[in-house]
Structure 1
Amino acid sequence: MSKRFIRLRRPVGSAGDAPLACVIGDLDLVRPLGLAGIRAAVVAPPGEPVSYSRFAHARPDWFDPWTEPDALVDELMRFSDTQSAPPILFYEGDGDLLLVSRNRKRLREGFRFVVPDAELVENLVDKRRFQALAERLGLPIPRIYRAEPPLDELERNLPLLVKPLTRRSDRWSPAIPWAKAVRVDTAGALRELSRSLDEAGAEAVVQEFVPGPETRIVTYHTYVDHNGETAAEFTGRKLRTYPREYGHSTAITVTALPDVAELGREIVQRLALRGVCKVDFKRAPDGTLRLLEVNPRFNLWHHPAAIAGANLPALVYGDLVGVRRSAGIRSPTRQVGWVWPTKDARAARASGLSMARWVPSVVTSRAKSTLAWDDPMPFMRGVLLPALDRRRHGASSAAAPAARAPAGR
């Protein structure tokens, strides 16, 4: 057996021959599994904080699912061959989702996993296809405009929101670092952005602008089993993002939002979706919910939700290994916050929140990305020591490697 596939240790009270969870993702997906006593193999780039987690019991090599999908599938299959029982496969980013969906037949020879219908996955990941699907089903989605010249129609409907066609960061980030979308207010800005995206080779869609800050974004999450029964669900809302507009989540909360849950359930039913998904809405100024996207994959929200009492990854694992599930829909029993401390400090400053108010909010957040007293090595070895090493060698923050945003946001 390859050394990198050695099972490093067994958690107290767990069966030594229980299948591993194989996680293509970060610590916010590994931790809910670990809290449930589930051992994990972690597939992540070298040096990522999750690699140092006490919950990481094996570390297969990582290949970029966007640029080297065949190599990653080969590595996953090699890893599965070393296991006495088929691992349970989890995926967090859009690239990971597409890899699993498009290679589902081969991967099922060595893994167990849940994933929606292949055509539905493609329709949800590609924003143009999603627009067409949403219109056919009568879902409350903002209008998407054609971005080809001439741009007269676009200019008549300013302001607009420009978003990547898919979340392929290696093409979008060179043109638009960190932000997940860009608001365009003038014809000149629209043309300049169009040129930048063309130079970066990034495909984009232009969407109707829904007024309001990022704090108006609310989400519905669910796990629907293969029988079409809802096993668990929860709702939440964003508190802060970085950058402040259209950035990545840095602070969120799992909280009860009855109208979001009701509409989320309806949309999942219309899509006939099986598996896990996150349904994002933005609350318009008139209070109505506008559908932004549906992401059929695991994500960072599952970390605070697990602490709140709705551990979706653990439920999926249990179903796939044949553990009897209690009747009824699992839902949170309390409100729980999540924060990404290293980025949320910037988000707090940008939003005008004082450090005197921000620090207590971080301390009281029960879920923190990469930071946990019972699992300190991801922060120590994956965040703090690299930062100290860069400072010791005189590297400026501009020269430091860009931090990767958690994939599931």
Structure 2
Amino acid sequence: MVSLLDDEVPVLLAKVGHYPQHHGGLGVVRTVGRLGVPVHAIVEDRFTPVALSHHVTRSFVWPTTGWEEPDRLTDVLLAIGRAIGRRCVPVSTDDEVAVLLAEYADRLKEWFLLPPVPPGLPRLLAGKATMHRICAETGVPSPRSRAPADHDELIDAGRELGYPLVLKNLEPFSRLRTPAVCGTTVVRDERELLGRFQGSMPPVLMQEYIPRRQAEDWITHLYCGPGGVVRVVFTGLKLRSWPPYAGVTTRAVALRNPELAELAGHLCRSIGYSGVADLDWRYDRRDGRYKLVDFNPRIGAQFRLFENIHGVDVVRAMHLDLTGREVPDGPQAEGRIFVAGQLDLPSVAVWLRTERRLPPDLLHERATERAWLCRDDPLPSVIEAIRFMGSVTRRLARSTRARIGQ
């Protein structure tokens, strides 16, 4: 594997928005940095975990909010490309920069090697309502969804979909500029729904809730070449997340699922998607179908869960493909376990409280890949622990002030 990657072509970890404690970005710099590929990273400050990884060749401090004009964001990306001095492979860790790279590919191609994805496609896939429409057009199951334009449609959609229901931010960029919810959110009744939207109507998606005890959460990570031809595809089962049952994956296992792999491949071929993608599915036991709940046109934070038997993950596959090298074919490595460190602790606590027992995997299955801890790059995990404790302390302080003020 070491001899396969072109170490003359660097990687740029690209991002828009403020999320300095992101283990997916750290996974990117480690997976190619270990193979001798120079890695450059856009960071919020010089003391993020990624910035202090010894695999990073150079950090570019560029704090962004998502409110910036796309032309301005593109100008800065071009300036970073010129500073690197060689065409490089950008790896997106958020939907916004994935949209930007696709829609401004003609300008950016001078300094960046980019998958030939149709320019408008990543925005449509990252948009929750447009993704639902694409699923309907391609015959891929997805939960029933509505995007209300006003409060009357909000009420009607809630009654049509039934309660509880799921709320999500509707589109990339709007989730940063005018967020409807902090993340995937479940509301239990109409009163709770209306309590969230008393003023102007933010862009929001309302989605059918699939009961937890009637469902399994699955993930698919893949890299597609031109025309949606699948180069590598991986499937796995999400065991826990934070917040529970709706948030970031905190523990997952790589499990081969040919039906789901074929479904994801069919979708990408049908729409001509090219690049890395992270798809979230819910298996609905009520009708025996896998339903697509999110299509992220970028890496997923837990992408290092997956490798094939040749050690190729989606980031390595993209680098190989875009530099004109063969992507080694082979089945995925079975049984790998991914754990997202301290985020898994509260998810275990919730499991214990609701199920009245410890999770069955906790004592019997050790992690193959950890989000933060690793022997060859220890400093990011130390910095993450410090920043994590700072975040917890600030939240507790805000909660205490709120109670005192009541």
TM-score w.r.t. structure 2 length? 0.82
Contact 2:5/2:320 (CA < 8 Å) preserved in 1? no
Q: Which segments of 5 or more consecutive residues in structure 2 lack a partner in the other structure? A: 16-24, 399-406
Distance in 2 between residues matched to 1:183 and 1:15, nearest whole Å: 43
Q: Which residue of 2 aligns with 1:85?
A: 86
- What's the offset of the Cα at 1:88? 1.2
Residue of structure 2 in register with 1:29 after alignment: 28
Aligned partner letter, 1:371: L
Tell me if the contact between 1:162 and 1:204 (Cα under 8 Å) persists in the aligned partners. yes
**Which secondary structure does the structure 2 equivalent of 1:89 belong to?**
strand
1:342 aligns with: 342
Of all paired residues, the percent bearing the same amino acid is: 20
Q: How far did 1:65 drift?
A: 6.2
Deviation at 1:106, TM superposition (A): 1.2
Asked if 1:371 corresponds to 2:373, the answer is yes
Contact 2:184/2:247, CA 8 A, preserved across alignment: yes
Aligned partner letter, 2:396: A
Paired residue total: 376
Tell me the distance in 2 between the aligned counterparts of 1:390 and 1:230: 40
Tell me how far 1:348 sits from its aligned partner: 0.7
Given the superposition, is the C-alpha separation of residues 212 and 16 from structure 1 closer, same or farther in structure 2, using an over 3 Å criterion? closer
Query: Which residue type is aligned with residue 398 of structure 1?
Result: L
Query: Cα RMSD between the aligned structures?
Result: 3.1
Aligned residue type for 2:151: P
Which residues of 2 match residues 36-75 of structure 1 at below 5 A?
36-46=35-45, 47-64=47-64, 66-68=66-68, 69-75=70-76
Which SS does the other structure have where 1:59 is aligned?
Answer: strand
Return 104-113 or 80-89, whichever deviates more: 80-89
Contact 1:162–1:182 under 8 Å retained in 2? yes
1:14–1:278 CA distance, 2 compared to 1 (3 A): closer
User: Cα–Cα, structure 1 residues 243 and 301, in superposed 2: closer, same or farther, change >3 Å?
Assistant: closer
For the Cα contact (< 8 Å) 1:31–1:303, is it kept in 2?
no
Q: Decide whether aligned partners of structure 1 residues 176 and 334 sit closer, same or farther in structure 2, where only a CA change above 3 A counts.
A: same
Q: 2:216 matched to which residue of 1?
A: 216
The 3-state SS of whatever aligns with 1:351 is helix
Alignment partner of 2:293: what SS?
strand
- Partner residue of 2:120? 119
Structure 1 residue 344: Cα displacement = 0.7
Match of 1:398 among 393, 396, 399: 396
Structure 1 residues 184 and 319, CA, compared in 2 at 3 Å: closer, same or farther?
Answer: same
AA at the equivalent of 1:283: Y
Partner of 1:140: 141
Structure 2 counterpart of 1:208, which letter? E
When residues 281 and 172 of structure 1 are mapped into structure 2, their CA distance, relative to the original with a 3 A threshold, is farther
User: Which residue number in structure 2 is paired with residue 310 of structure 1?
Assistant: 312
Q: 1:146 to 1:297 in 2, by over 3 A?
A: closer
Amino acid aligned to 2:277: C
Change (3 A) 1:306 1:399: farther
Paired position in structure 1 for 2:402? none
State the partner residue of 1:319. 321
Contact 2:116 2:274 in 1 (8 A): yes
Instruction: For 2:67, give the aligned amino acid.
Output: T
Q: Is the 8 A contact 2:254 2:333 kept in 1?
A: no
The alpha-carbon deviation at position 157 of structure 1 amounts to 3.4
Contact map agreement 1:233 1:310 (CA 8 A) in 2: no
The amino acid that maps onto 2:28 is: L
Moved more, 286-295 or 149-158: 149-158
TM-score, normalised via structure 1 length: 0.81
C-alpha spacing 1:357/1:207, structure 2 compared with 1 (3 Å): closer
Q: Note the C-alpha offset of 1:124.
A: 0.7
Give the C-alpha shift of residue 240 in structure 1.
0.6
Asked if 1:273 corresponds to 2:277, the answer is no
Paired residues of 1:211 and 1:285 also in contact (CA < 8 A): no
1:5 is matched with which residue?
none
SS at match of 1:250: strand
TM-superposition CA deviations, 1:217-259 (whole Å, max 9, x none): 1122221212653211110121111111312211122221122
CA spacing shift, 1:310–1:331, aligned 2, 3 Å: farther
Counterpart residue identity of residue 163, structure 1 = K
- What is the match of residue 242 of structure 1? 242
Q: 1:163 aligned to 2:168?
A: yes
Amino acid at match of 1:74: D
- Partner of residue 152, structure 1: 156
| Corresponding letter in the other structure for 1:36 | L
Tell me, what secondary structure is at the counterpart of 1:266? helix
Aligned partner (choices 184, 192, 196) of residue 187 of structure 2? 184
C-alpha change, 1:53 and 1:29, in structure 2 (3 Å) is same
Q: Which runs of 5+ in 1 are unaligned?
A: 1-11, 401-409
Using the TM superposition, give the Cα deviation of residue 317 of structure 1 relative to its aligned residue in structure 2, in angstroms: 1.0
Q: CA deviation at 1:138?
A: 2.8
Give the secondary-structure state (helix, strand or coil) at the position aligned to 1:109.
coil
Q: Is the 8 A contact 2:252 2:339 kept in 1?
A: yes
